[in-house]
Amino acid sequence: MHWWLPPKASTFAGPIDGLFIAILIITGVAFVLVEAGLIWFTIRYRSRPGRKAFYTHGNTRAEVIWTAIPAVTMVALGLISNHYWVEIKGRNSVPANAYPIGIHAKQFEWQITYPGPDGQLGTADDFTVRNQLHVPVGRPIVAHLSSEDVIHSFYVPQFRVRQDVVPGMEIKAWFQPTVPGTYELGCSQLCGLGHYRMRAQVFVHTQAEFDAWMKQAAQEATQ
Amino acid sequence: MTTVAATGHLAHAHHDDRPFIRKYIFSTDHKIIGIQFLFVSLFFLLVGGLLAMQMRWQLGFPGKPIPGGGILPDTMAPGGVILPEYYIQLVTMHGTFMVFFAIMPLLVGVYANFLIPLKIGTHDMAFPRINMWSFWSFFAAGLVMLASLFVPDGAARAGWTMYVPLSARHDLSGASLGQELWSVSIILVGLSSILGSLNYISTIINNRAPGMTWFRLPLSVWSLFITAILGLLALPVLSGAAIMLLFDQVLSTHFFDPAAGGQALLWQHLFWFFGHPEVYILILPAMGMVSDIIANGSRKPIFGYHSMVFAIVAIGFLGWIVWGHHMFVSGMNPTLGSSFMVSTLIIAVPSAVKVFNWMGTMWRGNLKFTVPMLNATAFVAMFVIGGLSGIYMAATPVDMFIHDTYFIVAHLHYVLFGGSLFALFGAIVYWYPKMFGRMMSERWGKVHFWLTFIFYNCTFFPMHITGMAGEMRRLYDPNQYTFLQPYQPMREFISISAFLLFATQLIFFVNFWWSLFKGKKADQNPWHDNGLEWSLPAPAPHGNWEKVPTVYRGPYEFSHPQAREDYLPQYVKLPTDREPASAPAAAH
Amino acid sequence: MGKLGSVAAAAGGLGLVTLALAGWTRPPAVQGGATISGKVKFTGKAPTNPVIDMNEEPKCKAKYTAPPREQIVEVNPNGTLADVFVYVKAGLPATYKAPAPTGPVTLDQDGCRYHPHVFGILVGQTLAIQNSDGILHNIKAKGTKNRPFNISQPTTMTSERTFTAPEVMVPLECNVHGWMHAWLGVLPHPFFSVSSTDGSYTIRGLPPGTYTIEAWHEKYGTQTATVTVTGSETKTADFTFAAK
């Protein structure tokens, strides 16, 4: 069990985790200041016989400082965050050479359509597999997300990718896996009684393994 | 030099010979209405807690029969083993009861009603009968929501956020009447809020006592005022959305049905356009009452009163333009993600300002840690954690990762429980003497506080960790995912802490009820506070004052150099004080 | 209901469960009565039923030596069609009252498949849905004349439901295992039968009369035949479905 974020397995994980750490530092400093301050005050200024409180209505300079510092920090955070947001989710963020996979969410399974040997979705050699997402490492993948019924959500923690899948909408979500291995895809939006079991296995292969799998799976699909 | 004792005769009971049913049941007296809200909301707080206990049983001990589960029907828990569809009903109804029937009515229904006329110096609300309807529509809404637990096919189960199409389509959720009753109940809750808000706003604007200028209002009143505006404008949107949902459910309309030209995201925009101001409704009154209590407990004026007012107004205003931060990964246009991120980061600033001002109030004070002060201080300590965790969510790329995980659950419980509920524990104890003429037990209040504080943090802090690990929300059995299996011991720890936390609340409930009959009889001003309400006997009489008091200063004049004692009420006239220029119109 | 009644129901239930496990239920026979029986034939090339990939459910996958196939078109080795629901659609006298059911009909989920795949039940008779797999199944009944329901069974357990209106057929499915489908015919009388692994069906105990018999198949639709019977004679009515 780790006490930290899951292992990184995509190109998004670096920037997202970095941003997380930056926020942890900022909020950590604020946390320590406030909590330590409160504890110190409760001890130092607790009521004792003969003690009198210091009568003041405030201090304008203090107000300005503790308004400005958080404001500036938030603006900086916003600018940095937005840079990555546009890169990950922006309208034009999907790389042109991304490998397309159709992912159709349905209560309570993921129907995954592969483009087949010709590499194009929507052609005759496409085939569909339940609950198994196979991808090659080191290439951008674009998931064409659609839903049969209710809102689901495509989520692979180690890829740091999440995108709601909405009926009536065709949504593209891209990611680039960096570490071969097996992972899990979970549904991350309550979709009914089987929500907790709407799980797929994710296999990140080397390109050679992926090609081999693709050939075999395409064959099996025609049987 | 006037002392507090001399003001005793400003208060005489206005002789009240109404029949019992008009006095205590269909009452138009704002104080009775506030108390009615209190009793009913505390009941729903208990209901919400019981629902959570069942959820935590399933999460801590998945698939095991719950002790006493025999009373649950087979459609919910055969052999006491909670079914997945029952689990998501628990999740949904816990959130629904806690937000709409516990926290919101405890903060607003109780304290807006009870405190506003007392603290601004008037006899009652501007529209007492409308006020009565505000309570009874809330009561009806509560009955409908409670009934939905017992109907065939069970209660609503799409989360308290009720996303469509799951909530609109019975064939997809498995629920039928229960979902529809949820919609009906919410429409009634909206009505209750709107009727209340009308009163709070009108009364504060028009009925302040002579000398009670805007900048002499206590922060509790300021926060209730802004909250009322939020309520007036936000609840109609929710009710409208609930009506559309109900129509889709029973009249075959297609507002939210993509197959027929509707849009699933429309619900989310409507819900969160309401939902974000709603969460400020759930925190602002708590912040206001905490300000009153901390100034009192520190024996010092509130630090930066004007900044505090501006912060409340800023939060109220900015709260309208952040709703999309609940929808970053919803499929809405990513450009909106950028704009909502900006507004969300900005709204962190006024909250930060408030935290620093509370600390400034305690700094160099003469801190008296009564039960209300303990709870109010804990509010600051816990709210800060909740607020800081919100910053992770505001940063959109990070939110992509933690959205719909337990990190969010931790955040919302830190602000709603660590924040609002601790503030409520403080407020209930603080104004109890004015409501009931007795004091709650100080000793048991302290025992309750410390145990709650410990068990509360043990329950909710670990959720930050499991959320960071990627544990999704609303999962009946997270162990289905290999990567979540190692966290089962932590889930068990959280569950046991939650059971202990719930058990501890028994102390509060017993203290509350027992003290109604056997509590120490209260003095008129047991906390040596400055507000106008403390010029009245305990409990406050019908009609409050024969003649409303005149106000000579702000509400936080503690340790004033010219006062003999360390407090100086607003209504006490010093030789150096002048009469106010003119009285607001309806002051008598 | 009374202890004796419960014992009787349990005994009857046990009997019916045994029969159900054999694949189909024999309705309670009327004393004497006529019989209509026959074979459901199949012409043309049998289509291949898709293979079920049970990789994500190892507990079910382990129950098979070779990957099972879906049960959409089940052509028997002798050229007949199994899992065709044959029933009396019309012809019973208006005064006819069905005998009370003597126990439940059992639908079992075993190896992530429904057993039986096609079956019948009386209006008001209990359907006992059994989960022999011990993993999460949900049963969604998509009736139009009967109230739809959707219930889960996260572990080994049995749930009960009844149906209040005649309906041919009520589709049943599991949403956790998208390949699981079953079909249930709800009738106000016990005169129905499901064609077996040799293509034959038998409807017994009919009062004298002229009947419209309908044969229903999930892919090939319906066909009807008219048969008149008296006394305790046996008449034959065969059906033929052709590959499309």
Torsion B47-B52-B53-B57 (CA) sign: positive
Count how many Cα atoms sit within 13 Å of the Cα of residue C152 in the half-sphere of its side chain: 28
Domains of chain A: 13-89 (1.10.287.90), 99-221 (2.60.40.420)
| Helix residue spans in C22-146 (DSSP H) | 58-61
Asked if A115 and A126 count as a contact pair (C-beta separation under 8 A), the reply is yes
Q: How far is C131 from chain B (nearest CA, A)?
A: 13
pLDDT in the model for residue B9: 39
Work out the burial of residue A92: count CB atoms within 10 Å of its CB; fewer than 13 is exposed, 13-18 middle, 19 or more buried. Answer: exposed
Contact list in A for residue B369 (CB cut-off 8 A) is 42, 46-47
Q: Name the stretches of chain B with pLDDT < 70.
A: 1-16, 582-588
Count how many Cα atoms sit within 13 Å of the Cα of residue A72 in the half-sphere of its side chain: 6
- The CATH code of domain B34-535 reads 1.20.210.10
Q: 């030209």: which residue's tokens?
A: B261
Gap between the Cα atoms of A106 and A198, Å rounded: 9
Asked if C47 and C156 count as a contact pair (C-beta separation under 8 A), the reply is no
* CB of B256 less than 8 A from some CB of A: no
Contact list in B for residue A41 (CB cut-off 8 A) is 359, 362-363, 365, 367
- Any idea of the CA torsion for B538, B543, B545, B546, to the nearest 10 degrees? -130
Beta-carbon pairs below 8 A across chains B and C: 32
Q: What are the CA-CA distances from residue A55 to residues B50, B421, B556 (Å)?
A: 46, 30, 10
List the structure tokens of B353: 């300002």
pLDDT in the model for residue A222: 75
CB contact under 8 A, B174 and C151: yes
Work out the burial of residue B232: count CB atoms within 10 Å of its CB; fewer than 13 is exposed, 13-18 middle, 19 or more buried. Answer: middle
Gap between the Cα atoms of C201 and C85, Å rounded: 9
Q: What residue spans define the domains of chain B?
A: 34-535
- The answer to whether residue C93 scores a pLDDT higher than 90 is no
Rg over CA atoms, chain C:
18
Asked if B352 and A66 count as a contact pair (C-beta separation under 8 A), the reply is yes
List the structure tokens of B99: 């937000």
Nearest CA to B568 among B536, B525, B538, B522? B525
Nearest CA to C202 among C10, C33, C21, C14? C33
Burial C205-220 (b: 16+ CB within 10 A, else e): bbbebebebbbbbbeb
| Residues constituting chain A | 223
Q: Quick one: how far is CA B296 from the chain centroid? A: 21
List the structure tokens of B45: 């707080």
Which residues neighbour C125 within 8 Å (Cβ) at sequence distance 6 or greater?
C101, C104, C105, C162, C163
- The answer to whether residue C8 scores a pLDDT higher than 60 is no
pLDDT in the model for residue C16: 55
Q: C240: helix, coil or strand?
A: strand
Work out the burial of residue B127: count CB atoms within 10 Å of its CB; fewer than 13 is exposed, 13-18 middle, 19 or more buried. Answer: middle
Count other Cβ atoms within 10 Å, centred on residue B457.
18
Asked if B174 and C150 count as a contact pair (C-beta separation under 8 A), the reply is yes
Which residues neighbour B363 within 8 Å (Cβ) at sequence distance 6 or greater?
A41, A45, A54, B303
pLDDT in the model for residue B352: 96
Gap between the Cα atoms of B91 and A192, Å rounded: 12
Greatest extent of chain C over all pairs of C-alpha atoms, in Å: 55
Q: How far is C160 from chain B (nearest CA, A)?
A: 10
pLDDT in the model for residue B554: 95
| Helix residue spans in chain A (DSSP H) | 13-44, 60-89, 207-221
List the structure tokens of B345: 């980061």
Gap between the Cα atoms of C62 and C68, Å rounded: 11
Asked if B524 and B532 count as a contact pair (C-beta separation under 8 A), the reply is no
Gap between the Cα atoms of B129 and B26, Å rounded: 9
Domains of chain C: 3-242 (2.60.40.420)
* CB of A201 less than 8 A from some CB of B: no
Gap between the Cα atoms of B334 and A172, Å rounded: 12
Torsion A82-A88-A89-A91 (CA) sign: positive
**Residue C79 zone, left/alpha/beta (φ > 0; ψ -120 to 50; rest):** left
Touching partners of B (3+ C-beta pairs < 8 Å): A, C
Q: 């309806």: which residue's tokens?
A: B586
A67 or B7, greater pLDDT: A67
pLDDT in the model for residue C102: 87
Q: Which of A207-221, B429-443, C13-27 has the lowest mean pLDDT?
A: C13-27
pTM for this entry: 0.91
Q: How far is B74 from chain C (nearest CA, A)?
A: 8
Q: 């929710």: which residue's tokens?
A: B238
Gap between the Cα atoms of C178 and A197, Å rounded: 13
Interface probe, candidates A104, A106, A108, chain C, greatest C C-beta count within 10 A: A108
CB contact under 8 A, B84 and A162: no
Work out the burial of residue B97: count CB atoms within 10 Å of its CB; fewer than 13 is exposed, 13-18 middle, 19 or more buried. Answer: buried
A68 phi and psi angles, rounded to 5 deg: -65, -45
Where are the extended beta strands (E) located within C91-198?
105-110, 113-115, 118-122, 126-131, 137-141, 149-153, 157-162, 167-173, 181-187, 192-194
Residue B541 one-letter amino acid: P
Nearest CA to B61 among B74, B80, B36? B80
In this predicted model, what pLDDT tens digit does every residue of C24-49 receive, in sequence order? 444 444 567 899 999 999 999 999 99
The contact set of A with C (CB < 8 A) is 106-109, 111, 129-132, 192-194, 197, 199-201, 220, 223
Gap between the Cα atoms of A122 and A144, Å rounded: 11
Helix (H) or strand (E) holding B88: helix B84-96
Q: What are the CA-CA distances from residue A54 to residues B295, B366, B570, B574, B582 (Å)?
A: 12, 8, 19, 21, 33
Touching partners of C (3+ C-beta pairs < 8 Å): A, B
> For all residues of chain C together, what is the average pLDDT?
88
Nearest CA to C87 among C240, C216, C220? C216
Contact list in C for residue B79 (CB cut-off 8 A) is 157
Q: B328: helix, coil or strand?
A: coil
Q: SS3 sequence, B347-401?
A: HHHHHHHHHHHHHHHHCCCCECCCHHHHHHHHHHHHHHHHHHHHHHHHCHHHHHH
Bridge partner list, C114: C109
The DSSP annotation for B107-121 comes to IIIIHHHHHHHHHHT
Peptide bond into C50 cis (omega under 30): no
pLDDT in the model for residue B10: 38
Q: How far is A218 from chain B (nearest CA, A)?
A: 28
Q: How far is C152 from chain B (nearest CA, A)?
A: 7
- Any idea of the CA torsion for B355, B359, B360, B362, to the nearest 10 degrees? 140
Give the single-character DSSP code of B319.
Answer: G
CB contact under 8 A, A169 and B330: no
Of A55, A157, A192, nearest to B559 by CB-CB distance is A55
pLDDT in the model for residue B8: 39
Chain C window 11-70: which residues touch B at a Cβ cutoff of 8 Å? none
